[in-house]
């Protein structure tokens, strides 16, 4: 393995940007992927609601503190429920090629073509790419997938 560079913490990955000219594969069962992305985005919206209600609690007038506290409790409950549903959906969504969980990041070694947006991990980057551009790359096998591409028929 002379060509690979390893660090004590794992592989030293180069920065790969998503390439739009690379040919992406189609996804055979889109509903699982769309459901996982949808519930994960709901969880992210719940986090935003929780942070907003916490800030509103500290800046609200004393007569509105009770209502702000109720909003914090409600948004915290929504966050916990949506996290559980999103986690289960992402856990059941498997890469069609390598059968790993591309929307959940674990400690397994990442492919050389795997990339991430710096404040996020690889799984969150895949979810955000699937939500915004309907394309994502599996962090374990490095294959690019397109949610809008239809499965080509064999001729």
pTM exceeds 0.85, yes or no: no
Burial 77-107 (b: 16+ CB within 10 A, else e): ebbeebbebbbebbeebbbbeeeebbbbbee
Condensed to tens digits (0 to 9), the pLDDT of residues 80-123 reads 999 999 999 988 888 887 888 888 877 777 777 777 778 888 88
């Amino acid at each position: 393995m002379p060509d690979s560079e390893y660090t004590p913490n794992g592989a030293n990955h180069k920065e790969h940007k998503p390439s739009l000219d690379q040919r992406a594969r189609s996804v055979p069962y889109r509903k699982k992927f769309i459901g996982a992305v949808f519930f994960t985005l709901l969880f992210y919206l719940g986090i935003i609601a929780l942070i907003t209600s916490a800030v509103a609690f500290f800046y609200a007038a004393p007569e509105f503190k009770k209502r702000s506290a109720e909003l914090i409790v409600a948004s915290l409950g929504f966050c916990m429920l949506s996290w559980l549903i999103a986690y289960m959906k992402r856990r059941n969504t498997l890469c069609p090629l390598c059968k790993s969980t591309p929307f959940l990041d674990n400690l397994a070694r990442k492919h050389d073509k795997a990339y991430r947006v710096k404040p996020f991990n690889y799984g969150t980057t895949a979810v955000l790419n699937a939500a915004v551009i309907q394309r994502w790359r599996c962090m374990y096998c490095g294959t690019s997938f397109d949610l809008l591409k239809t499965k080509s028929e064999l001729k």
